[in-house]
Structure 1
Amino acid sequence: MVGLFEFPEPLEGLTRPKRGAIVFAHSKQTAVTGMDLEEGSRIRPDTGQTYKVLVVDDSPTVQLQLRAQLATVGLDVRAVDTGKAAIEVALSWRPECVLLDYFLPDITGEEVVEKIRRFDADVQIVLITGQAARKPARLMMKRLDIQGYHDKTNGLETVMIWVDAALKGHAQKMVILRQTRCLEVALEVSREIHQLLPVPELFGLGLRGMQRILSAWTPGLGTDGALIWADEGGTLSLRRAIGKFAGCARVVDLPDHLRVVADTSVDSSEVVRSETAIAIPLMAVHRPQGVFAFELDPSANPPTDHLLLFSQQVSTAIENNLLFEMATIDTLTGLVSRAHLMRRTVEWLKISTRKNEPFSLIFLDVDRLKPINDRFGHAAGDVALATIGATLIDCIRDVDIAGRYGGDEFVVLLPSATPTVAGTVAGRICRALRDRTIHIDDEAVSLTASIGFGGLCEIPLRKWMRSNPKEDEWNRLAAFLIGLVDDATYIAKQAGGNQVAGLPKDLDVGKELLEFLHWSDGEHSGRFAVVQRITSSDAET
């Protein structure tokens, strides 16, 4: 039996003094989000969408009463009279709240709840019954996944309280879910940025991470943004840009409103928000060194705390990278330092031995650097060394490691490369250096180098490795191998320089390593790929 709501004349309003509650009145309502709504406006969550309420009751009178009162307080209302129709509308329309009669012509309200929960875990369901005494509220709410249980005999006022509570619960749940999505994005990107990546890569990852957090909060938010860097003198430079700003090359190319918030954020070290933009400071080495700036819709409410938290992650990654580079990078050439080079040589010797893969090296000695220093000064010599460092980086693979071994000597590690491949790379470096010149006092100075290469197609150290050698033994082995390749460089130097040379044909590098270690595995001595010395003219081909 379907009961009717018992209430006097339509309510003029329902006022609840509790903090944060919705005030249902014709003149003004205060939404759960804290927004003040003028007369005639609708209650809206942070997404900007109107709250939708589905009324499910087979009584036309009850439907009419509920629709009238809910529409009065600014809600979008639909009504159906069967359980099957309720399920179909809930699936297609996705309401935030369902007012569901327990007794329906086709199926019970409990069955409707069960079917809706299969595709929507977030909708707030208030079950309505005229026989609440037989099914107590606490028992029903505990047994079913519902957020309210209304007794029809209590009148319409109580229904509105249930709707108020349901919509607040839905809004709070949506905020939690959005915060969760933002944190998941931040955690995912943080795993990437804390891998000691180069700072330029961190810039790109950081900007894309910020954009993904904004989009996770509100789809489509933060599509247009930029990372602006500030040097120690306060000069701003554009390092990365996305969206419609991707084609910008300088800060002055960005719109005024974006530059203003960025400038203010750098000066204040705080998040700055204008009507159409937001800037999040990027702190590095305990001082503001840049900002993430995004264009926003005036109605947007971005997750400032999450953005600031992620910015701190990017800042930490940049600081760690700078500390790592201070400890491992030769500042003059941009290559790794000798100490780090030796560590990486040992590391790749172990990997190549374990995987039975080839491993090769290149040793480079600059030709006639002393005359450049003597004639033009050591500043000119520094320019020459920096140019050689840049040339090496241009000529090798990403996996290869180039380092300054000392003075005017350089070493390149080529993991998984045979000596033949090393010879090809050495020839490429020789030609690239020959094509480069440096200009000193309006005079063009050419650069050349003597380059040696060598290595093994397989490393005969697996049995020796199983003896658990100490780290010092690995270090001595790495230095010995570099020394062997240096012998090839000496061959090129003795032949006049500006050329490439491999180790002598009859030199068995594997056997040399084992003899150096005073070790024999009884089976393998290592196969050195025989490569003939490449002369200067050969290297040009």
Structure 2
Amino acid sequence: MVRKTRHATRTDWVILLTDDDQTYLDAIRKLLEREGHRVLTARDGEEALALLASVHVDLLLLDFYMHGMTGEEVVGELRKTNPMLQVILQTGYASEQPPRALLRRLDIQGYHDKSEGPDKLLMWVDVGLKAAHSARLLHKSRVGLRYILDATPGLHRLQPLENLLQDIIFQVTGLFGVANSCVASREHHTDDPGVAPSCFLAVFEDDAGPTVYAATGRYAGAGGLNEQELDGLLARALDQATRSRRPQVGTDATVVPLCVADQAIGVIYLDKPIVDNQDLELVSVFANQAAVAIRNAQLFKMATVDPLTGVHLRRFVEQWTIVEIRKACRHGGPLTLLMVDMDGLKRINDDSGHLAGDQALVAMGRLLRAIVREGDMAGRYGGDEFIVVLPNTGEIGAAQVAARLLDLLQDTGIEWQGRSLPVRGSVGMATLLPVPETLRSASAPPRQYFERVYDELLAAADRALYEAKRGGRGRLHAAGECPWLDLSH
């Protein structure tokens, strides 16, 4: 029966039609193009294999008997590198090959007798494309799950919350190839200026609107995600996502909540509708892992960071420094410790009140965070004293860091009730000598040994700080290089 010409909606399927009969190629190509498919053609097996190696194809319609390689030989070569491609064999001599045995032997999806006409061929094409769709979903699910499994350890390592949020958004972008995406969370309001970074906030509490903390694409550099920047649908989706704790898909965006237990702590926003259920499941699995990592990072920050100054707490710095001293013993690198004391903080407290003194502490913490490099550590030792630990840094390099801090302090102050109050400080420095070979070659010392080394180094830096303040304040005094302790003591 002759089929009426029609123009089907264009699909995204790619079919490779391989036959050595040019007349048949032309006729079937036009038939399949009317169905909306993109059709590639090849005249023999070698040409087909070359095309398959260079372009993506969803379904292969392959003549069984051709000059050169037979269809069976082409399938044999194809399966060596591509076990997923769906194949329909075609022949005008179907009776010579039992179809069921052929399908099992070659791992193909159909066997079409050309004499049965175009309707039967289109039925086989539909069968092959449905199998291709299932294979595509299975492959995508496996690839997505593998991506999530590979990314998850990186999310759960200890790291600053700000770095974690940026990592999450990059992983989401990589998972779905989304051009523009952003992570938002509930803004934390506080009277403490020390925990409010200048770009993205990293705490999810109260019921305030969402604020962007990490972004890519056209959202990069945005200061917030709010109803003024989004249409009514997205604003409702954000609200529904955080209330229902289920992904919300709009016409041009997807909002996935970040949930821990029964609490939505934020959302992932993608400027792409994810309509496929498997994709939604994948992003939900990733979001669950991301939410737990965010909560752990929040708890870690609460336990290790001073909420006023933004530098680390004394106990954490001590433990971290002992570990670095152990590394210096093992690898032989230097390590320097700076003790920083604020000059004149008591006068600020007495004359302008402790709120003004808090502002001065915030300013000092901000400067210390600015001068430390990746791998260094700044902490609040207590009151107006701070500690900076510089692994793999000798006296010369550490003196440069201290000089930079003192230079910056010359231009640092706070505005308080119409007055400018200077923020100043003095620095004491102590450096561990290179580890002696006898210590490096000895059996690993116990932890108590490194604790004593830390205590001695800290005492030397503290004595140097006293000399710096006695010598006129606002200056650096170096205790020199401190020797390692004798293991026998």
Shift in Å, 1:495: 2.1
1:120-151 CA deviation, whole Å, 9 max, x = no partner? Answer: 55432122346656544444334434333346
Secondary structure of the residue that 2:333 maps to in structure 1? Answer: coil
- Select which of 166, 179, 182 maps to 2:141: 179
Q: How does 1:194-205 map to 2 (within 5 A)?
A: 194-205=156-167
**Partner letter of residue 244 of structure 1?**
R
Shift in Å, 1:171: 1.0
**Partner letter of residue 509 of structure 1?**
C
Note if 1:41 corresponds to 2:15: no
The answer to whether the 8 A contact 1:57-1:100 is kept is no
Secondary structure of the residue that 2:453 maps to in structure 1? Answer: helix
Q: 1:329 to 1:71 in 2, by over 3 A?
A: closer
Q: 1:244 to 1:406 in 2, by over 3 A?
A: closer
- Select which of 354, 375, 386 maps to 1:378: 354
- Select which of 19, 22, 25 maps to 1:56: 19
Shift in Å, 1:316: 1.5
* 2: CA distance, partners of 1:497 / 1:509: 23
Q: How does 1:230-249 map to 2 (within 5 A)?
A: 230-231=186-187, 232-246=206-220, 248-249=222-223
Note if 1:509 corresponds to 2:489: no
1:66-121 CA deviation, whole Å, 9 max, x = no partner? Answer: 66875676555566664455556656775432333322234322223234456755
- Select which of 391, 413, 419 maps to 2:389: 413
Note if 1:225 corresponds to 2:181: yes
Which residue in 1 is equivalent to 2:301? 325
The answer to whether the 8 A contact 1:452-1:500 is kept is yes
Higher-Rg member (1/2) = 1
Which residue in 2 is equivalent to 1:354? 330
Which residue in 2 is equivalent to 1:443? 419
The answer to whether the 8 A contact 1:189-1:205 is kept is no
1:499-540 CA deviation, whole Å, 9 max, x = no partner? Answer: 211126xxx621xx425x545xxxxxxxxxxxxxxxxxxxxx
Q: 1:229 to 1:418 in 2, by over 3 A?
A: same
Q: 1:247 to 1:487 in 2, by over 3 A?
A: closer
The answer to whether the 8 A contact 1:258-1:293 is kept is no
Please list every run of 5 or more consecutive structure 1 residues that lacks an aligned counterpart in the other structure. 1-8, 13-25, 28-38, 216-221, 520-541
- Select which of 231, 235, 250 maps to 1:274: 250
1:146-170 CA deviation, whole Å, 9 max, x = no partner? Answer: 3333466877776555433322111
The answer to whether the 8 A contact 1:422-1:454 is kept is no
Note if 1:304 corresponds to 2:280: yes
Q: CA RMSD in A?
A: 3.5
Note if 1:254 corresponds to 2:254: no
**Partner letter of residue 482 of structure 2?**
V
**Partner letter of residue 451 of structure 1?**
V
Q: 1:69 to 1:455 in 2, by over 3 A?
A: closer
* 1: CA distance, partners of 2:310 / 2:274: 45
1:247-299 CA deviation, whole Å, 9 max, x = no partner? Answer: 54343563425444334323433211111221111236852232222223798
TM-score normalised by the chain length of structure 1? 0.76
Secondary structure of the residue that 2:435 maps to in structure 1? Answer: coil
Note if 1:488 corresponds to 2:464: yes
Which residue in 1 is equivalent to 2:342? 366
The answer to whether the 8 A contact 1:55-1:66 is kept is no
The answer to whether the 8 A contact 2:329-2:439 is kept is no
**Partner letter of residue 228 of structure 1?**
A
Q: 1:104 to 1:342 in 2, by over 3 A?
A: same
The answer to whether the 8 A contact 1:91-1:119 is kept is no
Q: How does 1:119-130 map to 2 (within 5 A)?
A: 121-129=83-91
Secondary structure of the residue that 1:423 maps to in structure 2? Answer: helix
Which residue in 2 is equivalent to 1:534? none
The answer to whether the 8 A contact 1:98-1:126 is kept is yes
Secondary structure of the residue that 2:246 maps to in structure 1? Answer: coil
Q: 1:297 to 1:266 in 2, by over 3 A?
A: closer
The answer to whether the 8 A contact 1:372-1:381 is kept is yes
Shift in Å, 1:478: 1.0
* 2: CA distance, partners of 1:213 / 1:493: 55
Secondary structure of the residue that 1:454 maps to in structure 2? Answer: strand
**Partner letter of residue 482 of structure 1?**
L
* 1: CA distance, partners of 2:47 / 2:400: 74
Note if 1:400 corresponds to 2:376: yes
The answer to whether the 8 A contact 2:336-2:395 is kept is yes
Secondary structure of the residue that 2:485 maps to in structure 1? Answer: helix
Which residue in 1 is equivalent to 2:453? 477
Q: How does 1:38-117 map to 2 (within 5 A)?
A: 41-42=8-9, 44=11, 49-50=12-13, 52=15, 54=17, 56=19, 58=21, 75=37, 82-84=44-46, 86-87=48-49, 95-117=57-79
Please list every run of 5 or more consecutive structure 2 residues that lacks an aligned counterpart in the other structure. 188-205
- Select which of 272, 285, 293 maps to 2:269: 293
* Same amino acid, percent of matched pairs: 29
The answer to whether the 8 A contact 2:348-2:356 is kept is yes
Secondary structure of the residue that 1:289 maps to in structure 2? Answer: strand
Which residue in 2 is equivalent to 1:425? 401
The answer to whether the 8 A contact 1:238-1:251 is kept is yes
TM-score normalised by the chain length of structure 2? 0.83
Secondary structure of the residue that 2:17 maps to in structure 1? Answer: strand
**Partner letter of residue 225 of structure 1?**
S
Secondary structure of the residue that 2:393 maps to in structure 1? Answer: coil
Instruction: Give the count of matched residue pairs.
Output: 469
Shift in Å, 1:209: 1.8
Which residue in 2 is equivalent to 1:4? none
- Select which of 99, 116, 125 maps to 1:163: 125
Shift in Å, 1:483: 0.8
Secondary structure of the residue that 1:303 maps to in structure 2? Answer: helix
Q: 1:70 to 1:359 in 2, by over 3 A?
A: closer
1:353-382 CA deviation, whole Å, 9 max, x = no partner? Answer: 211111111112223333333333333332
Secondary structure of the residue that 1:197 maps to in structure 2? Answer: coil
